[in-house]
Chains A and B, each alone.
Chain A
Amino acid sequence: MTENQKSKSRKEFLVEMDDILGLSAGTLRGDENLEELENWDSTALISLIVLAETSNNVHISPEQVVGCSTVADLLRLAQVDGSST
């Protein structure tokens, strides 16, 4: 990511996660448990890591992702703006 590129907002990141999970845009709110999401699997996990790298320039490891239990945890890991509040 270049310096001029802006990190994705929480809303934008959630919409991209909707894409990854095959959900309609606007479905995820952030408080969902990962284990309740039907399409949360290894390919979704890899897509999420790529998304964090390319969108937010944040490198996260699969082990860190596996340690998450909610969508909000993932947002914090990917350092999405406003996710730590």
Chain B
Amino acid sequence: MTQTDALSALRFPTQPEDILRRRRSLRKELLGQPNLVTTRIAILGGSTTTELKSILELFLLLNGLQPTFYESGYNRYAEDVLFENPDLWSFKPDVVFIHTTWHNVSQFPDLMEAEKDVELRVAKEMARFESLWTKIHETFGALIIQNNFDLPNLRPLGNLEAFEASGRVSFLLRLNSQFAAYARTHSRFLINDILYLSAKVGLDEWHSQTYWYSFHMAVSPIGTVALAQNVAGIVKAAYGKSKKCLVLDLDNTLWGGVVGDDGVENLILGRDHPVGEAFADFQRYVKNLQRRGVILAVCSKNDIENAREGFSHPDSVLKLEDFSAFKANWNPKPENIREIATQLNIGLDSIVFLDDNPAERSLVADQLPEVAVPAVGSDVSRFAEALEYERYFEVGKIVQDDLNRSAYYSSNTQRSTHQASFRDYNEFLNSLEMTAEIAPFSGLYLERITQLINKTNQFNLTTKRYTSAEVESIAGDSGALTLYGRLSDRFGDNGLVSVLIGRVRNETVELDLWLMSCRVLGREMELAMFDVLIEQCQARRINMIVGVYIPSKKNSMVAGHYAGLGFTRSSESNTVQEKWQFNVPQRYSTRTRHIRVTGKLIPTVSNA
């Protein structure tokens, strides 16, 4: 998205009071953005939520999401669910945000209450919340975002609050631990960590007696800005709008000094120098991002040898192998970033560019408006803060494919080298010894399927988005035909890379969604998916496949997909969507010549 001066109020570094003051004009400007994705959010409040709703809307719009809200009455968060408020029931939320705080604990322990009684009280409180969560999941299948507990700003027991069983601080921390355990074992349930947020904002700023007694706002307006931004980050991640790749400058960004001029031995990096320690810590932060699936790339104005040598510094936490793309030359940075996106097969809108040089930042922001360019300043000790503030890399849950991502991109470099040794492309494909697991949706993969559905733009026939609740519901729907595809080869596992969803009516299946990660373009994975689709249709006595193509700005690469597979264009096509038909043959020869489909046993489901 283009960052206008007005919207910069919502970008790092912000002044919360500016956001509060300018919310009307910000909202108006944000509503003018193209391609907003709609979402239905129920805010169930244990306190007044009007302010929260107003600021949350801004941060959601900033992330390309246009919310419609349901707001419970004051402190009716439990009643609305347990007594089935018809307004909430007809609203059918995609996301339920339960905004409770320490004020909503039903009963704190009595002074000097015995340990076992306190345990019992924790269990009782937990059961009360669990009954809400279960009912919401069973009724709406919505994503639940639940606050954990902040701490009261007053401590009648003083420091005893923290360690006496009956202390309120001790009690709230036990509850938080129980909430966290629930989040670890339940899908579509995420914690909004207000224990952290309130500490970051500062408890005196977070709680304000004026706003509590006058408006029953449990969180002050300033705290509400931090809260809303955090919730928006979680929702954004659920919709697959988080970034994938961090592109880094080198000199004065990953180390102090200019490696080409100063030499590796004179770089400011490591514990011997206060600023050097800050650079090493920033590298450590970046390394942690990489470990959990963020792709790293270098974009630096340097000779390639000098740039590479910088990572041989003994205190460099990051090593050359941590980077999936490395551009060090004297070309303009926007040009290099474009090449990085092409090399990694990701969109420019998946990239965050971090550079200490304001002129380079400005050039990239101007020429590549899709790339996120945080105003990090030139102080390395604030770089990580800027990345955190924007919640660029927020994830709902870390799935196995996230952990494998760096290994994939490294093995992809090996694939490219390997490919260069073949003159014939078919020979190359054969040599990859590819195997695919293609099967109907399985519980194990639902998180990854949702992630892929919500972030794939290019090889995506309809660009339809589904929430995790919808994916789970489709997985169990006998009227749906679903397939996921995983692909591995001699260099490693490419992970879950393709998803297909069809709606079965009588003897026809209409394909609502067919997408594939661009990582595996040109590998015949789409043919392998088609082969299994035909197999499924034959088993389910489906004799007609209707393919749908909805053109978007980004999916022109699949404009000829159905024609290429031998579909014929249907007369139902119009300017918004094309429909293509394919008669399922009784005898069919598989089309992929290079992938061995090992798919799990594909159950035959009756259409009845």
The size class of the interface chain B forms with chain A is 10 to 19
B residues 200-241 with Cβ under 8 Å of A? 210-211, 214-215, 221-222
Query: Which residues of chain B in 21-61 are interfacial with respect to chain A, using CB atoms and an 8 Å cutoff?
Result: 21-25, 28, 50-51, 54
Question: Are B50 and A51 in touch, CB under 8 angstroms?
Answer: no
Contact at A61–B215, with CB atoms within 8 Å? no
Question: For residue A44, which residue of chain B has the nearest CB?
Answer: B24
Asked if B51 contacts A46 (CB within 8 A), the reply is: yes
1/0 per position for A55-70, CB-CB distance to B under 8 A? Answer: 0000101110000000
A39 at the interface (CB under 8 A from B): yes
With a cutoff of 8 Å between Cβ atoms, the chain B residues found around residue A42 in the complex are 50, 215
Is there a chain A Cβ closer than 8 Å to B20's Cβ?
Answer: yes
B51 touches A20 (CB 8 A): no
B388 within 8 A of A: no
Q: Which chain B residues numbered 282 to 298 have a C-beta less than 8 Å away from chain A?
A: none
Which one of B24, B28, B215 contacts A46 once the chains associate, using CB atoms below 8 Å?
Answer: B215
Decide: B21 and A43 in contact? CB cutoff 8 A. no
B21 touches A46 (CB 8 A): no
A50 touches B17 (CB 8 A): yes
User: Chain A: interface residue count, which band?
Assistant: 10 to 19
Summed over the interface, the residue pairs from A and B with CB atoms below 8 Å come to a total of 46
Q: Judge whether B51 and A43 touch: CB under 8 Å.
A: yes
Main secondary structure of the interface of A (DSSP, over half): helix
| Bound Cα distance A21, B21 (Å) | 8
Q: Is the CB of A50 within 8 A of B221?
A: yes
Residue of A nearest to B222 (CB): A50
Interface string of A1-40 (1 = CB under 8 A from B): 0000000000000001001111000000000000000010
From the candidates B50, B211, B222, name the one contacting A43 in the complex (CB within 8 A): B50
- Kindly list 4 other residue pairs between chains A and B, CB separation below 8 angstroms, not including A50-B21, A51-B21, A59-B210: A22-B24, A22-B28, A54-B17, A62-B214
**Measuring CB to CB, which residues of chain A are less than 8 angstroms from any residue of chain B?**
16, 19-22, 39, 42-43, 46-47, 49-51, 54, 59, 61-63
10 contacts between A and B (CB under 8 A): A16-B21, A19-B24, A20-B22, A42-B215, A43-B54, A46-B215, A47-B20, A47-B21, A50-B222, A62-B214
- B-to-A contact residues, CB < 8 Å: 17, 20-25, 28, 50-51, 54, 210-211, 214-215, 221-222
